[in-house]
């Protein structure tokens, strides 16, 4: 009960890349970079185990950014002539690569880190990938001329990699779809359909993470415009409840998400965000247990997974570790308190 996990990403050590950045520059190259990524992956597996988490990830140490890290392995994408594009409905500008031809995987994307992590932990292992709608929102299209067509093409590639990850021994495959909180109508008309295509034929546990973004200023400013009750999930959750996705990861603690919205996820495992990644204040285990208690009013015990609100990539490493410890300790208190 209350198996603790994280949304996915963790801070990169200073010897691997720049720190506290969403698009950090690598500090190594060639074979040194490959080795450094592996070292960082192992370091975080150990840190997550030491903190007491039940489901661990590779910490996304091998990718520069959660979307572009995948795109680097896709043929038909031009990284040499990036363009500035407003993403998440123009919430902020990003330098994004361009789709210039038919999309095809160059080879395996996450094989190295997935197999390495699998070989070094007996805990359940989760690997995350960007969802099709979020990819389409983080790349410039100079080829398809049709968002949905392009999303479906990406979904096919995601599915190909997901099937291979399943063979690598991964237990949970999660797709990150922050765009699901932005393009509400598109979620209903094609977003979930694209996600279904990405998980087609998988037998491992599948998950989707939908959040209000990393703890960066553009997101903090946007949240201030959303009012006192964030109702975006009210539109998405009923569509997801009917989908074949097994788990949904959502933002909760310190947000204006009304906890009763979790009721709309009947039948799904719910990864409840009990750790705020937009604040450096460390939650106490009691606070974590209290948030779990709130969520329990709307989610059955056996379907509740305490989690972080979002990824921790841009955070300070020491703070992230303390937050992982609070997460696991809070889950332990909740196990006693709500048994």
Binding site for Zn ion (CB under 5 A): 211, 310
Q: Which is nearer to Zn ion, 36 or 270 (CB)?
A: 270
Q: Which is nearer to Zn ion, 172 or 310 (CB)?
A: 310
How many angstroms separate the CA atoms of 57 and 91, rounded? 28
Tell the smallest beta-carbon distance from residue 35 to Zn ion (Å). Answer: 29
Q: Which is nearer to Zn ion, 103 or 248 (CB)?
A: 248
Tell the smallest beta-carbon distance from residue 80 to Zn ion (Å). Answer: 29
Tell the smallest beta-carbon distance from residue 306 to Zn ion (Å). Answer: 16
Q: Which is nearer to Zn ion, 180 or 298 (CB)?
A: 180
Burial environment of residue 259 by CB neighbours within 10 A (0 to 12, 13 to 18, 19 or more): middle
Q: Which is nearer to Zn ion, 310 or 333 (CB)?
A: 310
Tell the smallest beta-carbon distance from residue 157 to Zn ion (Å). Answer: 21
Tell the smallest beta-carbon distance from residue 28 to Zn ion (Å). Answer: 27
Tell the smallest beta-carbon distance from residue 213 to Zn ion (Å). Answer: 6
Q: Which is nearer to Zn ion, 36 or 195 (CB)?
A: 195
Tell the smallest beta-carbon distance from residue 163 to Zn ion (Å). Answer: 24
Q: Which is nearer to Zn ion, 116 or 211 (CB)?
A: 211
């Amino acid at each position: 009960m209350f198996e603790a996990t994280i949304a996915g990403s963790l801070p990169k050590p200073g010897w691997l890349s720049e720190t506290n950045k969403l698009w950090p520059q690598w500090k190594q190259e060639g074979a040194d970079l490959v080795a450094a990524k592996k070292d960082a992956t192992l370091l975080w597996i150990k840190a997550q185990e030491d903190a007491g988490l039940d489901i661990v990830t590779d910490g996304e140490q091998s990718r520069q950014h959660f979307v572009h890290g995948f795109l680097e392995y896709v043929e038909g994408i031009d990284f040499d002539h990036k363009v500035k594009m407003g993403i998440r409905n123009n919430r902020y500008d990003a330098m994004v690569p361009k789709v210039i031809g038919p999309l095809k995987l160059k080879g395996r994307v996450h094989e190295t880190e997935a197999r390495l992590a699998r070989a070094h932990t007996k805990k359940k292992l989760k690997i995350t990938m960007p969802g099709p709608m979020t990819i389409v929102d983080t790349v410039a299209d100079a080829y398809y001329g049709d968002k949905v067509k392009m999303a479906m093409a990406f979904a096919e590639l995601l599915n190909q990699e997901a099937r291979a990850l399943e063979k690598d021994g991964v237990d949970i495959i999660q797709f990150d779809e922050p765009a699901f909180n932005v393009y509400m109508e598109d979620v209903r008309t094609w977003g979930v359909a694209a996600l279904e295509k990405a998980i087609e034929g998988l037998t491992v546990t599948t998950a989707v993470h939908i959040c209000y973004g990393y703890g960066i200023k553009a997101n903090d400013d946007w949240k201030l415009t959303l009012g006192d009750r964030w109702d975006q999930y009210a539109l998405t959750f009923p569509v997801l409840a009917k989908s074949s996705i097994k788990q949904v990861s959502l933002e909760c603690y310190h947000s204006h998400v009304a906890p009763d919205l979790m009721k709309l996820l009947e039948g799904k495992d719910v990864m409840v965000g009990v750790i705020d990644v937009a604040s450096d204040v460390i939650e106490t285990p009691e606070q974590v247990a209290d948030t779990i208690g709130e969520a329990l009013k709307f989610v059955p015990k056996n379907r509740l997974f305490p989690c972080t609100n979002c990824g921790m990539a841009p955070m300070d490493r020491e703070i992230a570790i303390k937050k992982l410890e609070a997460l696991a300790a809070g889950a332990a208190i909740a196990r006693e308190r709500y048994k």
